[in-house]
Every structure is written in structure tokens, then in C-alpha cells.
Amino acid sequence: MDVAREFPHCSAVAVDLVPMQSIHMPANCRSEVDDINLGLEHFYGDFNVVHVQLISAGIRDYHAMINQISHVLRPGGLIDITEYPFYFTGPDKKPIIKPKGSFEPPWTALWMSYASRAITARGGSTDAALHLPDWISSNPAFEDVVVRDSWMPASPWLKGDDPETIFWNDIAVTLREDMKVFMRSGRPLLLGHGLSADFVDAMEHNACQELDEAKTPLYALIRNVYARKRL
Ligand SMILES: C[S@@+](CC[C@H](N)C(=O)[O-])C[C@H]1O[C@@H](n2cnc3c(N)ncnc32)[C@H](O)[C@@H]1O
């Protein structure tokens, strides 16, 4: 919808498993309910731009999806993908991945470790963000590959009142609320993966408290990769 508004001369198609519920759909944007796992043959050769954002949990073979996108794009077209690796890091930017059976802080990172395992067990591609640069660079259809990483604080724990710190802490306030909603909606996923309700509730409660206190230095990596389809 953002693209359709910003570029009123274009025709945009919004694809998701679930119907889009917005009543503010611009006239030059239509939505389509599709399972991307079933292929994109019906879109081959139709688009100048393909944008993909945060769908890896529902994609069985992300590498194959990138190949499908190479056929959806017209020559010279833009592929633009943003994904997240389903872990938090500390200030050293190293992944905090807690093993099965652990119950210890940082709680938000612990919750994500369990969620990542549960999503992987259901066939999702939690590691897509890490492989994106290689998968796109090694595809002969693409050139001019650009990788951009952003490290977003999980809560407004950064110290300082300079404009950059304020900028990232503002983003962190939004991410913190998103994370709480994600944990609430991810409860059935964790229960379905065999964790007990008491375990899941305690972990979520501790993680919410940790996020509200905003003292634990956690970052989320968001990776954007874009490239051009060769002429
Ligand atoms: C975290 S949301 C991101 C939504 C949107 N792309 C954004 O960035 O705001 C993940 C979305 O991916 C969709 N999704 C997951 N697997 C999918 C699939 N196989 N085919 C189509 N959509 C899928 C889900 O329905 C959900 O709306």
C-alpha cells in the first residue's frame, strides 16, 4: 500500500496467505490470497519490483522462492527482501541462542530461541536472513547485490540524549510492543512444540518484565538485501 501511494502510476499486488483487511486500499493496489510455497508461476514476467518482508517463518524453501522471484521479475527489475534471523544479540552483536531445556535470562532471547526451534520444526526458514546474501549473489539472474544490516534495540536501553540514540530508542519502543504481541500470538506455537503452559507463561512474563525495565542490552538484526535482475 505504501508503494502504491508513493507511485500512483504503478499497479501493485499485495500477496499474503490471509486476506488484507484494510479499508484504505489505494485504487492502484489489489490484494491476492496465495500460499507462496505453491509457486509463483502465475506471476512470471509480470513485475518490475518484488518486495518481500518478514515471511520466512511460513516459507518451506526460501532459496527456491528466490529463484521463483527471478522469473517473476522483468529484465532490469528489482528484488528487495527484508528478513530477521529469529535471534537476539548482545552489544557484541553475537547471537544469543539458548539450548533446549534452559530457563534463564535474557528472557526475550530465551523466548526467541524456543520460538525459532518451533518454527523450524514446522518447516519454516528461520535462517533465511543469514543466507540471503549468498542465495541472491549466487543466482545468475541477479547483479548489483546490496546487503544492509540494521541493529534495532529490543527495548529503549541505549543511554544518551544525542539524536542517534533518541532515534534508535524510539524504534525500540515500537519493537518492544511488537515483541509483546508476537510473544502473545506465539503461545500456541510453543505449546504445540511440547512446552508446558506454565513454562511458556513464565518465560513470556519474565520477557515482558525485562522489556519494560529496558536495562538488558539486546539487539534484533534486520537484514535487507536488494539486487537487480540482469537485462
Ligand atoms: C510477520 S508478518 C509480515 C507481514 C508483512 N509482510 C509486513 O512486513 O508487514 C508475516 C506474514 O507472512 C505471511 N505468510 C507466511 N507464510 C506465507 C506463505 N507461505 N505465503 C504467503 N504469505 C505467507 C503471513 O500470513 C503473515 O501475514
Q: According to the model, what pLDDT value does residue 21 have?
A: 73
Per-chain mean pLDDT for the chain: 97
| Residue 29 CA: distances (Å) to CA of 14, 26, 53, 105, 111 | 7, 5, 17, 44, 36
As a whole number of angstroms, the distance between CA 33 and CA 52 comes to 15
Rounded mean pLDDT, 177-204: 98
The pLDDT value recorded for residue 174 is: 97
Average pLDDT over residues 108-129: 98
Q: Which domains are assigned to the chain?
A: 35-229 (3.40.50)
Q: How confident is the model at residue 19 (pLDDT cuts 50, 70, 90)?
A: confident
Q: Please indicate whether residue 80, judged by its CB atom, sits closer than 6 Å to ligand 1.
A: no
C-alpha cell at 215: 536495562
Q: Whose CA is nearest to atom 1 of ligand 1?
A: 54
For ligand 1, whether the C-beta of 119 sits within 6 Å is: no
Which amino acid appears at position 150 of this protein?
S
Alpha helices in 47-162 (DSSP H): 62-72, 107-121, 128-137
Please check the confidence at residue 137 and state whether its pLDDT lies above 90: yes
Check if the beta carbon of residue 108 is closer than 8 Å to that of residue 96.
Answer: no
Q: Which three cell numbers stand for residue 126?
A: 528461520
Ligand 1: centre distance to CA 52 (Å):
9
How far is Cα 28 from Cα 41, in angstroms, rounded to an integer? 22
The pLDDT > 90 percentage for the chain reads 96
* Residue 200 grid coordinates: 511458556
- Comparing C-alpha atoms, which of 120, 129, 136, 119 is closest to residue 188? 119
The predicted model scores a pTM of 0.94
61 CA distance to ligand 1 centroid (A)?
Answer: 15
Nearest CA to ligand 1 atom 9: 53
Neighbours of 75 (CB within 10 A): 11
Q: Is the pLDDT of residue 15 over 80?
A: yes
Q: Whose CA is nearest to atom 27 of ligand 1?
A: 16
Pairing of strands 73-83, 47-53: parallel
Average pLDDT over residues 8-18: 94
**pLDDT tens, 36-86?**
999 999 999 999 999 999 999 999 999 999 999 999 999 999 999 999 999
* Rounded-to-integer distance, Cα 186 and Cα 193, Å: 11
Ligand 1 center–CA 215 separation, angstroms: 31
Straight-line distance from the first to the last Cα atom of the chain, in angstroms, rounded to the nearest whole number: 28
pLDDT for residue 186 is more than 90: yes
